[in-house]
Amino acid sequence: MISRVLRHHLFQILLFMGAALVVSLLVAMTGMMGSVFLLSLIIGTAVLWLSLKYLEVGVLLIVFLGFFLNIIKIFTLTEVPLGTAIDILLILLFISIWYKSHVENKNILSKGVFTSILLVYFAYQIFEVLNPIAYSKAAWLFAFRQMFSVYMIFFIFSYAFQNIAFVTKFLKIWIVLSLFAALYGLSQEFFGFRDFEMRWLNANPEVAIRYFTFGKWRRFSIFTGPMDFGIMMAFTSVICIALYFGPFQYWKRIFLGISAFVMLWAMMYTGTRTAYILFPAGFVFYAILTFKKQILLVLALFLVAGTIVIMRPATNQTVFVLQTAFMGKKDASYMVREKNKEFIRPFLKSNPLGGGIGSCGMVGKRYSPGSFLAGFPPDSEFVKVAIEQGWIGLLLFCLLFATAMHLGINNYFQVENPRIKAYYAAILSALFMIIVGSYPQEALQLTINIFVGASFALLVRMKDLDSIADSYTTIEKT
């Protein structure tokens, strides 16, 4: 009996013995790094297979990588090519769903004005590689990946959001990961940076100088910058507040309320003045959109309390930085940014195609040293788009986001399911905050880009789920 079993499984036994021999030789020859690489390769291959076989796994993997990519880089003090890994995963997922849609005879591209504008903008950015005054093709390739991820995520997530259950799962995971980031940021504030974080700061003195302001460290949690962390906390806290007023069970609303409080608390220690402005802006937008007495009352109380905090003398450095966010022209950094805009205005008027994608800021300094735009600090996503893509690109950029907001608001008032209506209000408020935050900051970074692409997909797809959502959920009584 045993001999028959052995003969039957002889190939598998030999395969595992051969694999064990190869692993042993690799570890013996390369040491720990070889074993880590091999283990990563095995796990990565398995995860990739699961992602391609089960689209939901791939979508959630993208979200997890978006949150933890930066902290992995900081921990290892190396440029781990996980950014490239995300790009490859996005391309493979896109090819996979394109094949599935072809087999199922479905159209992967949703029809409508928004999708058309997105494709036109995508084509324009590809055309920018031929910009005659662009200094570097490598800069275009490096910077183009930023918006490329938004396009891929939009198409992939649009296909993945087939039911309201998965939309709910996506929002739950986003909130839980954001809450984890908030708690991690608070641990940095009250217990200090960890050893590997201090090693990273010491290895990057230019970064450390920017993160130490007003005699205090700005906290960045699991991200590489306080700005990313602050904006993330601001708009996700508004998502929690929007869902708090939705048709959900009492214990879920309590969790959302606590999460919003923790995120706002962590946001205060980022020193990101843009985030301080974004939260009230998003809350006001949400209150106007929903126009409910209960929400308007909470908003009024919040604005009164906020005005008192801003007007009274600062009691500590955190409150002082908060107050500087509302100084306007009295703030020195604001005036510097205005002078930079005045300096670059003649260039913008004479170059309708811009200077080429990736031509300014740190990317320009890295790939186009010595050029006119290299190292110029745009300090704004809108200014950056105008410099690199000209007024034509800026027009398409604004049109894309304006169309998304218009589509989402129309769908908000048309859907009937209370859960989907609450989701629309939350996503619209968050996207509005990101748009506002793009004026004073280069807001479209890795994790925020993932949310932007997902938001586009949700605004387009959720209306189609309105008629089938009742099979998944009913209004949850408190």
In the chain, what percentage of residues exceed pLDDT 90? Answer: 22
- Which of left, alpha, beta for 356 (phi over 0: left; psi -120 to 50: alpha)? left
Question: Is pLDDT at 68 greater than 60 in this prediction?
Answer: yes
Q: What is the pLDDT of residues 163-211, one digit of tens each?
A: 898 999 999 999 999 999 999 999 998 888 888 888 888 888 877 888 8
- Which of left, alpha, beta for 358 (phi over 0: left; psi -120 to 50: alpha)? left
Reading the block at residue 130, the tokens are: 């031929």
Q: What is the pLDDT of residues 335-363, one digit of tens each?
A: 777 777 778 888 888 888 888 888 887 77
Q: What is the pLDDT of residue 239?
A: 94
Question: Is pLDDT at 382 greater than 80 in this prediction?
Answer: yes
Cα 141 → chain centroid: 20
Q: For 106, phi and psi rounded to 5 degrees? A: -110, 155
CA dist., res. 398 & res. 7, Å (int)? 67
Q: Are 377 and 404 in contact (CB under 8 A)?
A: no
Question: Sorting pLDDT into bands at 50, 70 and 90, what band is 419?
Answer: very high
| Integer CA distances (angstroms), 289 to 232, 242, 423, 427, in order | 21, 11, 13, 12
Q: What is the pLDDT of residues 113-159, one digit of tens each?
A: 898 899 999 999 998 888 888 777 888 888 888 788 888 899 888 88
CA 467, 156, 443, 215 dihedral sign is positive
Question: Is pLDDT at 474 greater than 50 in this prediction?
Answer: no
Q: Domains of the chain: which residue ranges?
A: 35-471
Question: Sorting pLDDT into bands at 50, 70 and 90, what band is 61?
Answer: confident
Residue type for 147, please? M
Predicted TM-score (pTM) of the model is 0.84
Average pLDDT over residues 270-299: 85
Average pLDDT over residues 10-38: 56
Question: Is pLDDT at 66 greater than 70 in this prediction?
Answer: yes
